[in-house]
Amino acid sequence: MIEFHGVSKRFADGTLAVDDFSLLIPSRKTTVLVGSSGCGKTTLLRMINRMVDPTSGYVDIDGDGIAAMPPVSLRRSIGYVMQNSGLLPHRKVIDNVATVPLLTGVPKKEAHARALELLDTVGLDRSLADRYPSQLSGGQQQRVGVARGLAVNPNILLMDEPFGAVDPIVRADLQHELIRLQRDLDKTVVFVTHDIDEAFLLGDQVVILQVGAHIEQQGAPSDILANPANEFVADFVGSARGKRRLMVDETADSRGDDLVLIDGAGYPAGVVDAPGGVLPGAGSSPKSRSISNKTDQAGDA
Amino acid sequence: MQWLWENRDLVFGLSLEHVRLSVIPIIGGFIACIPLGWLANRFRMTRAIQLTIFGILFTIPSLALFVTLPSVLGTKILNPINVVVALTIYAIAIMVRGAADAFASVPRDVIESANAVGFSSASRFWTVEFPLAGPVLLANLRVVSVTTVSLLSVGALVGNGALGYLFINGYQRDFPTEIMIGIVFTLVIAVVFDQILVLIGRILMPWARRPRRSPRALMVRGAA
């Protein structure tokens, strides 16, 4: 469990990146901080491993204040995955995965054996172990980054837009791999992204942030989708709404009792039982005819 | 050729001397430039100051430096230390800017990521920043190496020029062959040094030379 207590951060140049932020991040769940660039989400993430220290307020991990913990050992106990993988270009894949165990003095042989297992875990072929990062594709590099983050078997995994720099197909692949991993590993994941679709797909808890890390809304994806707290959230969530809305396919032959539902891209998403060709509970407003849920997001991606 | 054969002991001895006198400044300059380059890259102020100081040092004519160093160091004029010290100063002057650039060439996000996973600053410097600065450091070291080998000949004017002796002697005797031999042997030493440096670079920095292979050929698991 990670707790932010009234945390603020003012950088040396005077910008107030985080303004009085409080949040409880539950253990063994994925919490996604989502917001546009410059909203302070990365600063929040970096406060958890003391890459950034708050100007005021404090952060606790499992009830212990991290301000008293030495940054280097704290960071070694927390997995960190960043955009563009952040791998060390002069080290082979296997040494990159084993970076932290080797730093903490684990014998090389043992660290390498564990690193090979981790390559399996993240779905990489062991034959890649002796390559350098530049010889891997973007998606493979990100997988190595995730494996490195998992190398010390940390309770907490921080992910800073880890899939931001790969193409959409690879990204979808990596997202589902992360969901699978999280099902097996049960880590406390804090994930930062500006992509609301990604946030809804991955998050158990989603926190929507405005400039200064002001929380606009937090909760389960379905709650946020169903009841946006304010216009900003509705707008932010709605930028992708076209994709999420299902509608009756007017072109389909609907003389029977079934109506075909299509998604924003025009693909059939399902069939509803509609006696007499009328959608149950359908009024005249288009809003009531749109059905939003998370599952068809998963289907999209 | 006949002259070379008859004077092979002299030329061989001078060549050895040349190697000996130029290796020290090259290595010394390199070692001195690591902390200087790091400092210059770390603090904006020191960079400006260092670059100015060494910029000025480099403009001192080499002969003037050879002549004045004995009084500064308290050594005899014929002592080879004078030449070695002077060449070390030049090596640093040439290399300090390049060393600063080398440390600046280490990608910012790699340093950030090293911090994020828990490198201490000392281990980050020696195992991340220094090796990644390597290719640019090496490029600068090669310039220093060639410059030092050729500049050493000027030392002949103060009695410690190794192969430079052949230039002066050949000029005084109006004997071009001797000068040619001097040039050829200086060139050979410069080329050999350069190739040794390239080889060391290949051994120590294997990641820098491997060609990028097509990621497609390495794909596992479909799209990844």
Each residue's pLDDT tens digit, A113-148? 999 999 999 999 999 999 999 999 989 999 999 999
Look at A136 and B215 and tell me if their CB atoms are within 8 Å.
Answer: yes
Look at B224 and A148 and tell me if their CB atoms are within 8 Å.
Answer: no
Is pLDDT at A292 greater than 70 in this prediction? no
CATH value at residue A192:
3.40.50.300
CA–CA min distance A6, chain B (Å): 24
DSSP run (H or E) holding A269: strand A268-273
Q: Which residues of B touch A126 (CB under 8 A)?
A: none
Q: How much of chain A, in percent, has pLDDT values that exceed 70?
A: 82
Tell which of A88, A171, A175 to mutate to test the B interface (max B CBs under 10 Å).
A88
pLDDT per position as a tens digit, A204-234: 999 999 999 999 999 999 888 888 888 888 8
The pLDDT score that the predictor gives to residue A254 is: 52
Look at B118 and A124 and tell me if their CB atoms are within 8 Å.
Answer: no
Is pLDDT at A286 greater than 80 in this prediction? no
The pLDDT score that the predictor gives to residue B220 is: 43
Report mean pLDDT in 10-residue bins for chain B, 224 residues. Answer: 82 89 93 89 80 83 82 81 88 89 90 92 93 93 93 83 86 88 92 95 84 46 40
The pLDDT score that the predictor gives to residue B57 is: 81
Q: Is residue A247 located within the same domain as residue A233? A: no
Q: Angle at CA B222, nearest 5°, toward B216 and B224?
A: 70
Task: Measure CA A242 to chain center.
Answer: 22
Domain count, chain A: 2
Q: What is the mean pLDDT of residues A53-81?
A: 93
A251 is in which domain, residue-wise? 242-300
Q: Is residue A49 located within the same domain as residue A133? A: yes
In this complex, the residue of A75, A128, A169 whose CB is nearest that of residue B223 is A169
At A253, is the pLDDT very low, low, confident or very high (cuts 50, 70, 90)? low
Q: Strand A156-160 relative to strand A79-82: parallel, antiparallel, unpaired? A: parallel
Q: Is residue A37 located within the same domain as residue A181? A: yes
Mean pLDDT of chain A: 85
Q: Is residue A23 located within the same domain as residue A151? A: yes
Q: Which of A218, A238, A258 is the last residue of a domain?
A: A238
At A96, is the pLDDT very low, low, confident or very high (cuts 50, 70, 90)? very high
Q: Is residue A234 located within the same domain as residue A249? A: no
Q: Is residue A29 located within the same domain as residue A59? A: yes
SS3 of A50, please? Answer: coil
Please give the backbone phi and psi of residue A105, each rounded to the nearest 5 degrees, phi first.
90, 15
Q: Which of A196, A219, A238 is the last residue of a domain?
A: A238
Q: Domain B2-207 falls in which CATH fold?
A: MetI-like fold (1.10.3720)
Is pLDDT at A296 greater than 50 in this prediction? no
CA–CA distance from B36 to each of A62, A174, B86, B100 (Å)?
Answer: 44, 43, 18, 8
Q: Is residue A119 located within the same domain as residue A226? A: yes
Q: Is residue A67 located within the same domain as residue A40? A: yes
Answer whether A221's CB lies under 8 Å from A199's CB. yes
In this complex, the residue of A86, A91, A137 whose CB is nearest that of residue B219 is A137
Q: Which residue has the higher pLDDT, A250 or A42?
A: A42
Q: Is residue A125 located within the same domain as residue A7? A: yes
* ipTM score of complex: 0.76
CA–CA min distance A156, chain B (Å): 12
The pLDDT score that the predictor gives to residue A116 is: 95
